[in-house]
Each structure stands twice: as C-alpha cells, then as structure tokens.
Chain A
Amino acid sequence: MSFSPFFVHGTLFLLGVSFVFWFPNFFAFSIFLCICGVIFYCFARFTKIFGRLTFIFLIIAIGSLSFSFGALRTYISFPQEPPFGEYLSQEVSLSGYVADEPIQKETYIRYSVVAYDLKNVRVLVYDDLTSQVSYGDSVTLEGKLSQPENKDTFNWVGYLSHQNIFYEIKYPNVIVESPEMVPFFVSLQKKLFSIKYAFSKNLSRVIPEPAASLAGGELLGEKRLLDKKLNDALKISGVSHIVVLSGYNVTIVSETIMRVLSFLPKNISLYGALLGIFLFAGTAGFSASVMRAALMATLLLLARRAGAHYQARRALFIAAILLVFIKPTLLLYDTSFQLSFLATMGILYGQKYFEKKFIRVTPRFGLRTALATTVSAQLVVLPLLINLSGGIQILSIPANMLILPTVPPVMFLSLTVGVLGFFSYSLSFIFGIMATILISYQLAVINFIGSISFANVSVPYITSLFAVLFYVVFFVKILWKEEEK
C-alpha cells in the first residue's frame, strides 16, 4: 500500500501546525526535526549508506520536513504582545482605523481598531449601541485601557491573542476623523463592503425583518444583523450553515458571469469570472470560509480552461493548505474555516455514497439530494460541533430537509430583488413579496424546531484532542480509500 504523497505531506504539514498550538514550547525540537530531515534527505538521496532502505528513509525525511515546516511557519506567526503594560488601567488616547465590521450585540457594538503609529497593535473596542462607526473609519479613542478576560469556559483571551488583540477599551469617547491616514487596501475593502451594504439596503427596503436579515445571510453571508433569538434558533435546528457563504454562493457568481460573458473570447470570460470571484470574496471581507470557497472555484475555472480534470478533493486540500500557510491560526481558532472545510470534505466524499443509500427517498423537490448532503456533511462536522457547543442538534436532519430545497429559490429571489432595487423600487417590491413568503416559511421551520426542548441534547464535553484524534483517523481512512481507486 502507498498513499498519495500530496495528501500525506499536506496532512503532516497541518499536523505540524496544530502541534505547535498544543505544545508551544517545542521550538528547538522543530528546528532539530527540520535539520534531521535535511540531513537524512541528503544522505538518502546522494549516498548509498541506507542500502535497500533508502526509499523508506527518503519518505521519512520528507515527511519530517513537511511536519517541521508547518511547525516553524506557525512559530514565526506567533503574535507578540506589544509593550503596553505600563498603560494598563490608565486613560489613553489612541488614533487608528476601524479594522473590522462592527458587530452589534444586545447591549453594545464591538469592533477593533488598528493603531497608526504602533504597527500591528489592535485594540478591541466596546461602543454604545448608538455608535455610527463603520469599517475603515479613522478614529481617535479616549478611554481606559484594559485586558480582555475569559468568559465562562471559552478561551476568549487565547482566541483574541491569535488575532493580535491583547487590549480592550470599554465605552471610550470616539472621535471620527478625516480618513487621510487610512491605508489603501482598507479604503478598497471599504468600497467593496459598500457594494454589499447597498445590496442589503435594497433587500431591507422591500422585505420586513427578520426575513431581510436572513435573506442577507443566505445570499451575502451577512450574519451581523441576525438577532440573538434567531441565531440561537438557527443553531439549535442545525441550519446555521445557510447563513455562511459557501462554495455554492461563489459558484453561482462565477457561473453567472461565465454565462453572461459567453459571447466573448474564452479568456476574457474566464478573467471576468475570476474578477467576479475576487470581488465577491471581497464583499465578504475575505473571510476564511469564503476564501476556501473562492480558491476552490478558482481552481475549478483554471482546471477547466487548461483542459485538466478537476479534482475537487485535491482542490479542497490545496485551498486549505494555502490558507493555513498564510494564516496558521485558522486551523485551530477559526470555527467558520474548520466547519466549512470539514463539511465540504464530508460532501465531497459522502454525498454520492448516501444518495445511493437513500434510494427509497423520493428525488422530488431535491429531497434526496438534501438528505444525502446533510447526512454526509453533518457526520463529519459532528465531533467538532460537540466540542464547540457541547450539544447535538438531533433534529438537524429533518430541519435541513425542510429548509435546504428552499435555499436556492430564496437566493435567486433575493439576488433579483437586490439587483432590481438599483433600478426600480416597484419591480423589486414584487420579487420582495415572493422572497418574503418563502423566507417566512423558513423562519417558521427554524423557530418551530428551535423552540422544541429536546432539539438540542447536551452531551459530555469532549476535548479538542479527542476531536482531532477522530479526524486524524478519519483522514487516514479517507486517504486509504483514495489510493484504492
């Protein structure tokens, strides 16, 4: 037996990355492993001292190189706490730009500010609900500097530190200034966001709440506007993935552009589609889950153009490794990245299998596909979800079967409403009513299942180590099968 070297080394790289997060003090070991790898490789490749075992040593050498490569990359990325200690619990004044889209909670609005003069210093800001600050604004904050504290069992401090956030200011005096000093890429991102805002404005003009927020979530992955009650109901009924940008959204964008531009030379429509994917990912703030989807869609387009056979599984792996290489903290600290990666994997490996199993379920209304998709994705995501939430959403399969078939029409109608809204209020209004009716159905299902007391069964907490062990076994099994084909 032999595994595809690509998958093996990719997995080892990812293992190396996660190794560092669990055992942060093994820097010397990683260096040692790296050097060993190089030495073994040289000896095995250029001498004959290993005799017949040369091949095995070569594999081990490259394997340990992949592993230590992942580990060292992660060590380099480790954030350094800025020397701000002396200013703690003192009144400070700090100028910078708003570095993310403010998140509205029940009692406050939260965002982070990157300081101008201190490179890479990010401060978390809690602001009043009435705050009018938006992404990319240039602000001066006056308030007391403090350090975040852990909430309940969640390692909030650790989570923040991996985003380079070590300090927070609660309810500061916020002065918005002229945006001269804001970096170029931030202004660009701000423009991309404004496209999204204009779009969701068109939705909210003709669709009432909370249907408008849900439509924005399904089409644009805009989750910030969902209220807590709906968010909880989405989680309990196990359908919160519908408000996450997925490969599906990205594929719709690229396919639509390709079709619209199909009268042009092939290369131009290809570039158009690639640009469209880039812009779409941009309106979503280049978040990890949308980047995963965008990279896969890009690889699909490129493979098709080159006449190569597109291997979705390989593309998924390439996308994951590339993103983790760019930002190692994604692997263990970005839930949306983890869920999107695992769910896609489940679908790629399991959907066909389950569709054959559920031969007795009617394929009408897309029910069989919905069931197969849900089961395959849920199975793979389950250990992570248990680890994250300490519960199993036992009604998620019927909930998904009821909801998933309505997601494409809702996306189509919302897209129509959003586009028409730029030209004609009345036309968008008609489609808005249709969208509202469909979304009201979704809301009814979500709220009903979300209110059932036994929908969320709490289970004993499983440690992340156990979850990861599960996934390692699972990966190995998959790689094995991959080889048999």
Chain B
Amino acid sequence: MERRRKIIIRVCIILALLNALVWYFVFTESPHALSVSFLNVGQGDAIFIEAPNGSQVLIDGGPANGAVLRELAKVMPIYDRYIDVVIATHPDADHIGGLNEVFKRFQIGLLLESGLSKDTGIFLAEEKTITENKIKHINARRGMKLDLGGGAVLTILFPDRDLPSTVDANDGSITALLSYKKETFLFTGDAPQKIEKYLVALDGKNLDIDVLKAGHHGSKTSTSDIFLRATTPVYTIISAGENNRYGHPHADTLARLRTASTTVLRTDELGTITFKTDGKERILEYK
C-alpha cells in the first residue's frame, strides 16, 4: 500500500512538471515580432525567418557539415519539429548541402525550388529524401507571394520563367523579398551581377530595402554598384565561412559596400546574426 502511494505521488510530480513545462512553452511561444536569423553555418547560406504569428521559413541549409541543425536548434523551440516553408535557392552544395538532414529530421510544409537540377551526389540524395518523405515541392516563380501571417509577406522576384537546364546554377538562384510593415529584407542567393541588373530593370524603385543579403557570399561577381544604388540597404549581411578557401568576401565587394555606406555584418566575424523587429524598433543580436 505504502509503495503504491509512493508511485502515485511520483507520477503526479512528473505530470505536474510536464504541465508546468507546457505552460512555459505556451508563454515563450508567439514572439509578436518578426525575426530573421542569418545562421552561422560556415561557408554557405542558411537564413531562418519567423513571422510574428510563428510561421517559419528556412532559406537554404548551408553546407553538409551539420551546422544548420545545431543553429536551428538555437532559434527554434525544442519541441518544434515543423518548418512551414523551405526555399532551396539553387542546387549548389553550400546552399542545399545541409537540407538533406533537415528534410530527414523536420516535417516540411512546402519546399520551393529553383527548378534547376545538378548531377551531384548530394542533389540526388536530396531528391530521394524528398520523394521518400513525400515533401510537397513546387518551383518558385516571380509573383508568388507567401503570406506568412501577421503582416509578413515573402515575395518571389526571380526566376521569372522556366529555366533551361543549361543555365548556370547561380544564375537561377531564387531571389525573394520579405516585407513586414516598414521593414524589408532582400535575399538573393548566389545571383550574379547580370541578374541583379535585370532585377533593377524589372523592379526599379520597389527594390529599395533595409537589409540585403549580399549575393554569393560577397564574391566580386555579385553586389554591383547599380544594385547597391537601387537597393540602398542600411545593413548588408555577408554569409561566409571563416578563412574560406574562396577568399569570400572579395576586397572589391567590400570596397563597393563602403562606397554605398551600408553597415556590413559578416557571419564569419559575428556568428549567427539575428534581426528582430515589431515594425517600429529593430533589434540586432549576434551569437
């Protein structure tokens, strides 16, 4: 009898603790603000967006070094195993390398792809995972709008057509514009200068934004003067690995950014960079 009572008390304690935990999660949930994190994944891109209502978007997964999983764990609650939308900007290994593990571990609402394919082991492995896990996937097209809720909208600017398979992977990068109240962010994947000029021609004044993710990790083939004049970013993020073998970001790009008098924030120097904003105030965090 005594033993039974002890067991009952223990079970009650455990249940009470679990209950407290659930309420803790409830109160830490729903930040009522938009947060955009440029994750520190080494040489590659991975950007995590959480809308004011909790909808989540992951743009690229960095290289296949497992870093994206560790970084996601820091920006997502521990019980959260669902990402609403994943965008794979283009099939290069420093953008989709880490996505394979993400697909295996998280449930994905929708996958947006560029439509390009690549004959690499990682791309084929990823295709297999997508089929096995029955992940819904469509090609991104200009004009698509993802209403993230709470006033945050992600608009696809590029590609604006079906891409022939001969197109270079970088040229086909998905470019997306995130806007929330007055704040705007532009994500360009690895888009080179010619695509930037094309976008300036298409969108002109609408490209004036607050935060720019510099194309191709700050390579000199991206972030042209014309593009910087059209976008006039307050902050420019460079997502590159420490001492990477490509020498990203390039000195020319850094010089152009200096001329454009934008504040440069680099993941290789600062780690994960997070913007939080309620539309009025903008908070910057580094980890």
Q: Chain A: residues with CB nearer than 8 A to chain B?
A: 104, 106, 128-132, 201, 204-206, 208-211, 225, 227, 429, 433, 436-437, 440
Task: Judge whether B121 and A132 touch: CB under 8 Å.
Answer: yes
Per the 8 Å Cβ criterion, residues 238-254 of B in contact with A are none
Residues of B within 8 A of A205 (CB): 81, 104-105
What are 26 A-B contacts defined by CB distance under 8 Å?
A104-B65, A106-B42, A128-B93, A129-B63, A129-B64, A129-B65, A129-B97, A130-B120, A201-B104, A204-B104, A205-B104, A205-B105, A208-B72, A208-B73, A208-B78, A209-B69, A209-B70, A209-B72, A210-B70, A211-B73, A227-B67, A429-B79, A433-B21, A433-B78, A436-B78, A440-B78
Residues of A within 8 A of B105 (CB): 204-205
Nearest CB of chain B from residue A206's CB, rounded to whole Å: 7
Residues of A within 8 A of B120 (CB): 130
- Best-surrounded residue of A130, A131, A440 (most CB of chain B within 10 A): A130
Residues of A within 8 A of B124 (CB): 132
Given A208-B69, A209-B66, A227-B70, verify A130-B122 contact (CB < 8 Å). yes
Task: Judge whether B97 and A130 touch: CB under 8 Å.
Answer: yes
Task: Judge whether B66 and A225 touch: CB under 8 Å.
Answer: yes
For A106, give the chain B residue with the smallest CB separation: B65
- 9 further interface pairs, Cβ-Cβ under 8 Å (given A128-B93, A130-B64, A130-B122): A130-B120, A130-B121, A132-B124, A205-B105, A208-B76, A209-B69, A209-B72, A210-B73, A227-B67
Nearest CB of chain B from residue A420's CB, rounded to whole Å: 15
**A205 to B108 CA separation, bound complex (whole angstroms):** 12
Residues of A within 8 A of B9 (CB): none
**A440 to B81 CA separation, bound complex (whole angstroms):** 17
Residues of B within 8 A of A437 (CB): 21, 78
Nearest CB of chain B from residue A12's CB, rounded to whole Å: 47
- Best-surrounded residue of A128, A209, A429 (most CB of chain B within 10 A): A209
B interface SS class: helix
For B68, give the chain A residue with the smallest CB separation: A209
Residues of B within 8 A of A429 (CB): 79, 81
**A132 to B93 CA separation, bound complex (whole angstroms):** 13
For B105, give the chain A residue with the smallest CB separation: A204
Residues of A within 8 A of B72 (CB): 208-209
**A204 to B124 CA separation, bound complex (whole angstroms):** 22
Q: B93 contacts which of A130, A201, A211 (Cβ < 8 Å)?
A: A130
**A129 to B101 CA separation, bound complex (whole angstroms):** 13
**A206 to B125 CA separation, bound complex (whole angstroms):** 22
Q: What 9 A-B pairs have minimum CB-CB distances, sorted nearest first?
A: A208-B73, A130-B122, A209-B69, A132-B121, A129-B64, A209-B70, A130-B93, A132-B125, A436-B78
**A201 to B103 CA separation, bound complex (whole angstroms):** 12
Nearest CB of chain B from residue A59's CB, rounded to whole Å: 57
Residues of A within 8 A of B67 (CB): 227
**A195 to B63 CA separation, bound complex (whole angstroms):** 27
Nearest CB of chain A from residue B95's CB, rounded to whole Å: 12
Q: A132 contacts which of B21, B70, B122 (Cβ < 8 Å)?
A: B122
Q: Chain B: residues with CB nearer than 8 A to chain A?
A: 21, 42, 63-67, 69-70, 72-73, 76, 78-79, 81, 93, 97, 104-105, 120-122, 124-125
**A340 to B94 CA separation, bound complex (whole angstroms):** 39
Nearest CB of chain B from residue A326's CB, rounded to whole Å: 35
Residues of A within 8 A of B70 (CB): 209-210, 227
For B43, give the chain A residue with the smallest CB separation: A107
For B63, give the chain A residue with the smallest CB separation: A129
**A131 to B64 CA separation, bound complex (whole angstroms):** 9
Residues of A within 8 A of B122 (CB): 130, 132
Nearest CB of chain B from residue A265's CB, rounded to whole Å: 31
**A204 to B102 CA separation, bound complex (whole angstroms):** 10
**A93 to B121 CA separation, bound complex (whole angstroms):** 20
For A439, give the chain B residue with the smallest CB separation: B78
Residues of A within 8 A of B104 (CB): 201, 204-205
Given A130-B121, A225-B66, verify A209-B81 contact (CB < 8 Å). no
Residues of A within 8 A of B76 (CB): 208
**A300 to B73 CA separation, bound complex (whole angstroms):** 42
Residues of B within 8 A of A211 (CB): 73
For A207, give the chain B residue with the smallest CB separation: B78
Residues of B within 8 A of A104 (CB): 65-66
Residues of B within 8 A of A129 (CB): 63-65, 93, 97
For B97, give the chain A residue with the smallest CB separation: A130
Nearest CB of chain A from residue B112's CB, rounded to whole Å: 21
Nearest CB of chain A from residue B243's CB, rounded to whole Å: 11
Residues of B within 8 A of A201 (CB): 104
**A437 to B104 CA separation, bound complex (whole angstroms):** 22
Residues of B within 8 A of A436 (CB): 78
Residues of A within 8 A of B79 (CB): 429, 433
Nearest CB of chain B from residue A460's CB, rounded to whole Å: 31
Nearest CB of chain B from residue A417's CB, rounded to whole Å: 13
Residues of A within 8 A of B65 (CB): 104, 106, 129
Residues of A within 8 A of B73 (CB): 208-211
Nearest CB of chain B from residue A244's CB, rounded to whole Å: 21
For B22, give the chain A residue with the smallest CB separation: A433
Nearest CB of chain A from residue B138's CB, rounded to whole Å: 24
Nearest CB of chain A from residue B287's CB, rounded to whole Å: 13
- Best-surrounded residue of B64, B78, B97 (most CB of chain A within 10 A): B78
**A159 to B154 CA separation, bound complex (whole angstroms):** 54
Nearest CB of chain A from residue B127's CB, rounded to whole Å: 12
- Best-surrounded residue of B65, B76, B124 (most CB of chain A within 10 A): B65
Given A130-B93, A130-B122, A227-B70, verify A206-B81 contact (CB < 8 Å). yes
Nearest CB of chain A from residue B128's CB, rounded to whole Å: 9
Residues of B within 8 A of A433 (CB): 21, 78-79
Residues of A within 8 A of B42 (CB): 106
**A156 to B153 CA separation, bound complex (whole angstroms):** 54
**A433 to B80 CA separation, bound complex (whole angstroms):** 10
For B123, give the chain A residue with the smallest CB separation: A130
**A429 to B72 CA separation, bound complex (whole angstroms):** 18
**A131 to B93 CA separation, bound complex (whole angstroms):** 11
Nearest CB of chain B from residue A410's CB, rounded to whole Å: 15
For A174, give the chain B residue with the smallest CB separation: B121
Residues of B within 8 A of A204 (CB): 104-105
Nearest CB of chain A from residue B61's CB, rounded to whole Å: 12
**A132 to B105 CA separation, bound complex (whole angstroms):** 17
Nearest CB of chain A from residue B105's CB, rounded to whole Å: 5
Nearest CB of chain B from residue A312's CB, rounded to whole Å: 32
**A205 to B106 CA separation, bound complex (whole angstroms):** 7
Residues of A within 8 A of B97 (CB): 129-130
**A209 to B66 CA separation, bound complex (whole angstroms):** 9
Nearest CB of chain B from residue A303's CB, rounded to whole Å: 33
- Best-surrounded residue of B21, B66, B120, B125 (most CB of chain A within 10 A): B66
